[in-house]
Structures are given as structure tokens and as C-alpha cells.
Structure 1
Amino acid sequence: MQVVEPNVRKPRFQLKGIIWTAVLLLIVLIVVINSFATVQYGNVGLYKTFGKLNDNALSPGIHLKIPFVQSIIQVNVQVTKAETDTSASSKDLQPVSTHVAVNYSVDKATVYKLMNNIGGSFDNVIVNPAIQEIVKEVTARYPAEDLIAKRDIVAGEVRDALTKRLAKYDLVVNDINIVNFKFSDAFDQSIEAKQVAQQQALKAENDLKRVQIEAQQKVAQAQADAESLKLKKQEVTPELIQLKQIEVQEQAVEKWDGKLPSVTGGATPFIDLNGLSGSSKAAAGDGGTSADSTAAGDATTDGGESAAKQ
């Protein structure tokens, strides 16, 4: 009786089947994964089939593609900033270094044309050289001082020229900013000296105006004083003078202490008022006899004559 041996090679065949199945599933998975592509927000996608671009622009989102045959390239259509430094000469041959920042974007409707004719490095191929050339062209039209004083006008001319230049390549210029003008040290020193001189001239002019105004004020004050004096002279009348004299006499009477002066003079002879006053008092005390009155009168007359002689 012949014994049949079991087939030991059967598990090997099962292992191969499992391996091939896993490989097939892996291939399917890879194919499925490569059948989809995502276009990010702010970008536009273009199919690239064996190196050839398709003019059908893809919006942001998930898109199907042929695995290993097609790929999707993405182009940023958001506003992009390009910064560059440009060295040039002004109209008066002053060396000028200009730092410029340009905000631009790609036109969505013409992405295929841009990528097909120029490629993804259009910023280095088109944008930066155009900025440098136009900035040099515009700065050469202005003297160095005007580049500082008329920065807005210069930026506007650069923007207009750059917009016209980049429009040929379907690029849109959104804005341009001249960040800085840098001149030579000698020119900076001359500008500073000029500003100092202008400030000093302005101060001198202001001082002159102030002196002129003060002089005008003094003249006006003198004229006002003269006019006032003239009016006062017109108001002086004989009646006013007499009234003032009366006021002065009244003030003198108010200040008088009741004592008569010892002598008085003027148009009349000097008279001894004390002697006259004493004689009058003596006559009143004796009862006013005629003899005494005569004696007093003679004494007064003698005193007056004596005083007159003196």
C-alpha cells in the first residue's frame, strides 16, 4: 500500500497570492491617490500633460487628473511684493540709490499665456528688470533735491510707466512705494547746510518784521498821544483856568493852620503883619480910645515905613 505524502508546497502558493494581492492593492492605491490634485486657495491651476500646458484654468479645490501622465501646476494670483534696489544718477548728476517696493498680481484670465511664454520665474525675468530700468529713467528727469521734495510725483510716474510695461505680459501693478532715496555724504551735508541757512534767513526775516511792527506801534502810540494833547489844548479855556485857580485856592485854605505869615510881598510894600495884629489887639483891649488909636496908627505907619526902607 502506497502512502500519499501531503503537498507541502501549497502554503508557498498561498503566500505568493497574498503578496501579489497586496502589491496590486498598493498599485491601485497609488493610482487613486495620483488621480486627484488640489489647487490651493489664492492660486490658479493648469494641467500639464507630458510637458504641454493646457489652457484650461483650474479654480481652487480638488481636481481629477490622469495618473503619471498629467500634473497640475499652480500659479499664485494674489498680490505679490517685489523689492529692488536701483542705483542711478539724477538730472544734476548726483548719484542716487533707490529702494522700491512694487505690489503686483497675475491676471487670472491670462495665466496660461504668462506661464506658456515666460514661465514661473517671471518675477526675475520681467518684473525686477522693468522696475530698475523705469526707476533709472524717471530719476534722471529730476534734480536730486526735487526727488526728495516731489517723491509722490516721482512715484506716480514710475507707477504709470511700470503699469504700461508689465501690461504687455498680463501683469497688473497694484501699487508702488519709493521706500528710500539715498544720496552721497557730500550731498547730504550740502542739503543740511542749506536748510540751516534757510532757517537763519527765516529767523532774520521774522526779526525784521517784528521790529517793523514794534516801530509802527510806537508811531501809532505817538500819534495817539499827540492827538490827545491837541484835544486837551482845545479844551483849555479862560473859564477852565479860572476854575482851576479857584480849586487851588480852596485847597490852600483847607490846608491853612490859621496862622498869618510874618511878612508878605508882591506888588505892595512889605508889611509887618505881626506888629499890625498886636497893635489891633492892644487897641481893642484898652477900650478903643482915640489917643491910643492914633498912637497905634502912628506905630503901624512907622513900622511899615521901616519895613519898606529895609
Structure 2
Amino acid sequence: MRKITTFNSAGKLTALLFLITLFLTPCVIVNAGERGVLMKFGEVQNQILGEGLHLIIPVVNTVKKLSIQVQKQEISAEASSKDLQSVFADVALNWHIIPQEVNVIFQEIGDEQNVVIRIINPAVAEVIKAVIAKYTAEEIITKRGEVKSGVDEALSTRLSSYHVAVDDISLVHIHFSEPFDEAVEAKQIAEQEAKRAEFIALKATRQAEAKVNLAKGEAEAHRLLRDGLTPEILQRQAIEKWNGKLPLIVSKEAPKFLNLSELLKFDGK
């Protein structure tokens, strides 16, 4: 009985010591959407801590947590077009740190704020300048989708070398200098007026052509009708219209009926 009691006391003491050791041992919790960079005496280690609870050795180990969630950065950039017009672009960039490379990016660049200041902002400004320079101001307006694709591709390639992935990029607003905007507006108004004048002229030409063609048609119809009315046709038409009664000619002497041959001669004249 004493042995059992002694055993139970020893077990409880061991469990208590274990719990004390556990509570006294430093630990770190890596939250959802984060990765932990493990360091040993300040030196970055290859091991990356995932989400959850991790025990570390006091004094020896420290942990820096970095977010791997998608983050949004809004940037305004200025560039020059191929025809040397000033272009102002407002860009919205969605990006995230590549999870399996958080230790490298922290070692080479630093935390998220350093990534934005030292990498993302300069990269966006440089890429915008390079892509915009390939297009004229008019092409930037008419080929906006192509410009956006060029920026997306160039920026993705550039940032991947810094362990950053591009999720999406939007050219929120592209505008030009005020004199250029006024010139574009004046050009559009002039083009609209020119198209209107061209339409009116074309409409008048078509109407005149229609009248000429109508007159020609009527003249041709009259000619065909005139050429086709031969004596034989007139005689046949007279026979077709005759009601079978001989015309009566009244003279001083006595009523006289025309015979059929005279009628045909008479109608054929």
C-alpha cells in the first residue's frame, strides 16, 4: 500500500515538474497567414516556422514573424510617353511574400515595411516608366489593356527575384498634362465635325444620284413604250377593247354603220 502511494506521489511530482518546465520554457505562436523566421544568436536559420505553437530555447533562439497574406499597395508614378508627353499613373498592386522564402527575404531585405519602401515602390515606378515609354500618348489610351499586361509581366519578373509574388495589378487612373487633355478634346471635336460634314456631303450626293437615276429610268420607260407602239399593236389593242357594237355615224342623209374593216382602219390611225 505504501509502494502504491509512493508511486502516485512520484508520478504527480514528475507531471508537476514537466508542467513547470513547459510553462517556463519560452514558446512562440505563429498565427494564421504568418510564417516565423527562426534565428539562433541573431543568425537566420533555414528552418521556417509554420502556423501554430513552437517551443524555442531561451536566449539562443528568437523568432521574427512575417505576413504572407495578400497586401495592397497604392502607388502614383510619373512617366513620359514615346512622343514625350507627360503621363501620370495611379497603380494598385496586390502582392504577397512567397511563404517558403520568408527567411531569405528577411535576411536580405527586412520586414514588410522594408519590402514596400526598398523594393516594391521603386520597382513599380521603374516598370511604369519603361512600359509607358514604348507607347505614344494616344496608344496608351487606345491600348490600355496591352499596357496593363506589359506592366504586369515586367513587374512580376522583377519582384520574383526579391521573393515577392504579384497577385494583381490595376492601372486605376491614367491622365496627362492639362494642355494635352485640351488638345485631345479639340481634336476629337474637329474629327466629329469633319465626319458630320462628310456624312452630309455623301447624303446629298446619294440623293442627287437617286434623282438622276429616276429621271433616266422614266425616260427609258417612255422610249421603250413609244418604240413598242407599232400599228399592229395599236390595232390589236383596239380589237381587245371593242365591245362588239359598230359605231354609228350620224349624217344629214341617214344613220350609217361602219363595217369591221373600216373600224380597224379607224382604230389603227
TM-score (norm 1): 0.64
Q: Deviations over 1:86-135 (max 9, x none)?
A: 12332333222211122222222222111111100211111111111221
Q: Give yes or no for contact 2:41–2:59 (8 Å, CA) kept in 1.
A: no
SS in 1 for 2:161: helix
The question of 1:166 aligning with 2:159 is answered yes
Tell me which residue corresponds to 1:218: 211
Q: May I ask how many residue pairs the two structures share in their alignment? A: 236
Q: Which structure 1 residue ranges, 4+ long, deviate > 6 Å from structure 2?
A: 243-250
Q: Which amino acid aligns with 2:65?
A: Q
- 1: CA distance between counterparts of 2:184 and 2:24? 66
- Quote the offset at 1:142 in angstroms: 2.7
The question of 1:206 aligning with 2:227 is answered no
- 1: CA distance between counterparts of 2:216 and 2:58? 105
Tell me which residue corresponds to 1:103: 94
- 2: CA distance between counterparts of 1:247 and 1:137? 91
- 2: CA distance between counterparts of 1:230 and 1:76? 94
Q: 1:141 aligns with which of 134, 140, 150?
A: 134
Tell me which residue corresponds to 2:181: 188
- 2: CA distance between counterparts of 1:224 and 1:71? 100
Matching of residues 78-89 of structure 1 within 5 Å: 78-89=69-80
Tell me which residue corresponds to 1:301: none
User: Over alpha carbons, which structure has the higher Rg?
Assistant: 1
- 1: CA distance between counterparts of 2:138 and 2:234? 76
Q: Give yes or no for contact 2:41–2:61 (8 Å, CA) kept in 1.
A: yes
Tell me which residue corresponds to 1:176: 169
Tell me which residue corresponds to 2:146: 153
TM-score (norm 2): 0.72
Matching of residues 1-310 of structure 1 within 5 Å: 28=20, 32=23, 35-67=26-58, 69-120=60-111, 121-242=114-235
- Quote the offset at 1:44 in angstroms: 1.7
Across the aligned residues of Structure 1 and Structure 2, the Cα RMSD in angstroms comes to 3.5
- 2: CA distance between counterparts of 1:151 and 1:34? 58
Cα distance, 1:128–1:246 mapped onto 2, change above 3 Å: same
Q: Which amino acid aligns with 1:109?
A: Q
Q: Which amino acid aligns with 1:233?
A: R
Q: Which amino acid aligns with 1:45?
A: G
- 2: CA distance between counterparts of 1:143 and 1:34? 64
Q: Which amino acid aligns with 2:32?
A: Y
Q: Give yes or no for contact 1:34–1:68 (8 Å, CA) kept in 2.
A: no
Q: Deviations over 1:203-260 (max 9, x none)?
A: 222223323333333343334323322332243122444566789998xx99xxxxx8
Q: Which moved more, 1:45-54 or 1:130-139?
A: 45-54
Which 5+ residue runs of structure 1 have no aligned equivalent? Answer: 1-24, 255-259, 261-270, 278-310
Which 5+ residue runs of structure 2 have no aligned equivalent? Answer: 1-16, 255-269
Tell me which residue corresponds to 2:262: none
Q: Which amino acid aligns with 2:165?
A: V
Q: Give yes or no for contact 2:86–2:176 (8 Å, CA) kept in 1.
A: yes
Q: Which has the higher strand share?
A: 2
